[in-house]
Structure 1
Amino acid sequence: MASTDFKDYYALLGVSKSATVEEIKKAFRKLAVKHHPDRNPGDKAAEERFKEISEAYEVLSDKEKRQKYDQFGQYWKQAGAGATGGWPQGNGGVNVGDFDFSQYGNFDEFINELLGRFSTPGGPRGGNYTYRTNTGNPGYGEGFAQQPSGGDQTANLRLSLLEAFRGVQKRLNLGNEIIDVRIPAGAKTGSKVRIKGKGSANPYNQQRGDLYLNIELEPHSFFQFEDDNLVCEVPITPDEAVLGASIEVPTPDGQVTVKVPPGIRSGQTLRLRGKGWVHPKDGRGDQLVKIVIDTPQSLTQAEREYYEKIRDIRTYNPRNHLQRISL
């Protein structure tokens, strides 16, 4: 005979048997907000409903419990706990039958503790969860990403190229705490800086995760990155390309004189060793100078006459090899 107190957990949460964990969590949150006793004072039916959906969520969000529930139906508890029946007493167990709601100051505290229990080793695989009824900015600033309670948090931090090259100290507002963080020299877009113990606190055990800063560099008008090298483009004139020249090139340390060899072509690269980006473990990298031959758009009469003379006496034809090209 089927148990008279068997509950259809899927029906309680209003989800299908094929619902994902995320869909189950979303349904639970919606119902929890509606039926929580704090929002329905004196309503015994709402309190009982809240207990039922909490029980349903605990089971269906746990991979092993859900598998037993799907397999054994009304006998899943006996299958999970042996002949004694009742709730399996793992690390993630929640006795909702005689749950004392008065120990919580508000709805958020209960939900965060409940979901925090699920993130313990006895809970489901898939990491920690958090729940907040407010949707405002958590107080960290632009780019802050709300993360699981009692787990790691991440935030994006934008730096100028100068700040990243030299290293910089930044003051960050975490909402309930102001901290100073030293960003070491040589950070690049994609670098991560770990700040231990400054992540979110688990309300169940008060342990805090870590805060990870994702570094993002502001675009620069002259310098770019190519792998680990600092890259720039420097224009030269046609006569400098033909005859060679000494030109001034900006580096992170200031201007340096670079010799351009005669006959250089547009697109060729000169390497300035040790003038590139800071590598925390390997010292300075190289700066790559890409040469671009810049043809003048306006000429004086004298310049035009000299270019015409060069054209008339020039023996070099860069298109000679094209005469041998055919299909």
Structure 2
Amino acid sequence: MAATDFKDYYAILGVDKTASSDEIKRAFRRLARKYHPDMNPGDRQAEAKFKEVSEAYEVLSDAETRRKYDQYGQYWKQAANGGSAWGGRSPAGAPNGFDFDFSQYADFDEFIESLLSGMGGGRTRTRWSYQSSPGGRTSSGFGSGFEDFSRYSSRQPGTSLDREATLSLSFSEAFHGVQKRLNIGSEVISVRIPPGAKSGSRVRVKGKGKKDGFGRQGDLYLNIELQPHRFFSFEGDNLVCEVPISPDEAVLGAKIDVPTPDGSVTVSVPPGVRSGQMLRLRGKGWRLPKTGDRSDQLVKVEIVPPKSLSATERECYEKLREQRSSNPREDLQGISI
């Protein structure tokens, strides 16, 4: 654009030079609705006005370009190293002729929100990819297939093209990985959930979010939720389970069978184990998608007295009580306030 072709973007939007970003956004929303080609079929003047309004908003909605525009006036583009601001394209990458697929929006307000999102007025999420192995990135966007959402950031609150959904998995599906078929609007997609998902895990499916009028499309984020298991639970990355033992096994020690994700294993219970004590099974816990390793399984021992006794068992317990040489409450003697 030559210096003589300078346009007063503030006048185009009908706002003062001191207008806030919210005021600029409201003005654009009103004018975009008024002049959009879908609302004015065949009206070339309305289409030209819509392009002009869009150009004004794209410049004034960005703090840096607005600063240059305010500082240098008609020479602001030369101050920004020259070149066409639009690269021969319609504003914000829209194809010439404004060929919008308006049918994908519930109403015109939803279209305007997506338009604002695509032109600097919406939220942007910065994503980092995690590489678990030299195998490269997967179609889900990360080497592990999981989103590292703890490091999300956002700029400028507004509308995102991304979608979110909750996906419920059984422990078996999450541990081994599973292929799921999902309905996304009128489309049925197949999504591979990698092994090692947990509640709070997040899987990114690229290009399955909302669309805007300029050919851009957001992503789908699946928030994993595990169904409760009757035996296993989590303590951090480790699996935890509770295994009952009898009083004689606690006193004398025993070898017991304990379920793990890989099947039952034999565990040695040391003599004199206390109720609530944890036994660690290394490498028998949950799959760790970031490393490909396994966490530990923690076995909590719970001493369970029998609910009913045979005559012989009662006689033996009575003899033990009579012959017992230790007092488990010895350390409580002398305690007072």
Band of TM-score, shorter chain: 0.5 to 0.7
One-letter amino acid of the counterpart of residue 284, structure 2: K
Aligned to 1:127: 124
Aligned to 1:182: 192
One-letter amino acid of the counterpart of residue 262, structure 2: D
How far has the Cα of 1:287 moved from its partner?
A: 1.7
Aligned to 2:147: none
Q: What is the 5 A alignment of 1:82-231?
A: 89-91=84-86, 103-104=98-99, 111=112, 115=116, 118=119, 127=124, 148-149=160-161, 154-199=164-209, 203-204=213-214, 206=215, 211-231=220-240
Name the CA shift for 1:148/1:240 in 2 (closer, same or farther; >3 Å): same
Secondary structure of the residue that 2:124 maps to in structure 1?
Answer: coil
Structure 2: tracts of 5 or more residues without a match: 1-6, 105-110, 126-157
Aligned to 1:236: 245
Distance 1:105 1:282 in 2: 45
Match of 1:248 among 235, 246, 257: 257
Higher relative contact order (CA 8 A, sep 6+): 2
One-letter amino acid of the counterpart of residue 127, structure 1: T
Aligned pairs, how many?
A: 287
Distance 1:127 1:186 in 2: 28
**CA deviation map 1:87-142 (0-9, x unaligned):** x942499989xxx99744576798589557635xxxx79638xxxxxxxxxxxxxx
Q: 1:263 and 2:272 equivalent?
A: yes
Distance 2:229 2:310 in 1: 38
Aligned to 1:66: 66
Contact 2:13 2:24 in 1 (8 A): no
Distance 1:115 1:93 in 2: 21
One-letter amino acid of the counterpart of residue 67, structure 1: R
Name the CA shift for 1:18/1:214 in 2 (closer, same or farther; >3 Å): same
How far has the Cα of 1:162 moved from its partner?
A: 0.7
How far has the Cα of 1:223 moved from its partner?
A: 0.7
Name the CA shift for 1:288/1:239 in 2 (closer, same or farther; >3 Å): same
**CA deviation map 1:18-61 (0-9, x unaligned):** 555xx854674466446756547899999999778656643442
Q: 1:278 and 2:279 equivalent?
A: no
Contact 1:10 1:17 in 2 (8 A): no
**CA deviation map 1:295-322 (0-9, x unaligned):** 45x5458466654554443332223233
Distance 2:293 2:55 in 1: 58
Secondary structure of the residue that 1:64 maps to in structure 2?
Answer: helix
- Mean Cα displacement is larger for which, 220-229 or 298-307? 298-307
How far has the Cα of 1:254 moved from its partner?
A: 3.0
Kindly report the root-mean-square deviation, in angstroms, between the aligned alpha carbons of the 2 structures. Answer: 5.0
Counting aligned pairs with the same residue, the percent is 56
Distance 2:118 2:88 in 1: 8
**CA deviation map 1:146-199 (0-9, x unaligned):** 9744xx655433211111222221112333533323323333334444445555
Contact 1:273 1:286 in 2 (8 A): yes
Q: What is the 5 A alignment of 1:72-83?
A: 77-78=73-74, 80-81=76-77
How far has the Cα of 1:232 moved from its partner?
A: 0.7
Distance 1:324 1:9 in 2: 88
Distance 2:174 2:262 in 1: 14
Distance 1:51 1:184 in 2: 45
Name the CA shift for 1:238/1:194 in 2 (closer, same or farther; >3 Å): same
Distance 2:212 2:180 in 1: 26
Contact 1:244 1:260 in 2 (8 A): yes
Structure 1: tracts of 5 or more residues without a match: 129-145
